Amino acid sequence: MAQNATAFEEYLKGQQITLEKNAHEDNTLYVIHENLEAVGPVSLMALFNDSDRYVTLICYKYFAFPPEKKPALLEMINTLNAEYTMVKFVETGNALSIQVVVPFHDNFSSEVIVDMIALIFRAMQEEHPRVVKALQ
Q: How is the chain split into domains, by residue range?
A: 33-44+53-134
C-alpha count within 13 angstroms, C-beta hemisphere, residue 19: 26
Q: What is the pLDDT of residues 79-125, one digit of tens each?
A: 999 999 999 999 999 999 999 999 999 899 999 999 999 999 999 99
Q: What is the pLDDT of residues 41-62, one digit of tens each?
A: 999 999 999 889 999 999 999 9
pLDDT band of 1, cuts 50, 70, 90: low
pLDDT band of 40, cuts 50, 70, 90: very high
What are the residues facing 43 on neighbouring strands?
Answer: 33
pTM comes to 0.92
How far, in Å, are 35, 91, 92, 120 from residue 125 at the CA level? 11, 17, 19, 9
Q: Determine how β-strand 20-23 pairs with β-strand 40-49.
A: unpaired
Residues 6+ apart with CB under 8 A from 124: 36, 39, 42, 59, 62, 98
pLDDT of residue 26: 87
| ∠ Cα 90 93 98 (to 5°) | 25
- Max Cα–Cα distance, the chain, nearest Å: 47
For residues 15-26, give the mean pLDDT: 90
pLDDT of residue 2: 86
Higher pLDDT among residues 119 and 25, named by residue: 119
Q: What are phi and psi of 6, to 5 degrees?
A: -65, -45
- Taking the C-alpha atoms of residue 124 and residue 122, their distance in angstroms, rounded to an integer, is 5
CATH class of the 33-44+53-134 domain in this structure? alpha beta
pLDDT of residue 15: 92
pLDDT of residue 29: 95
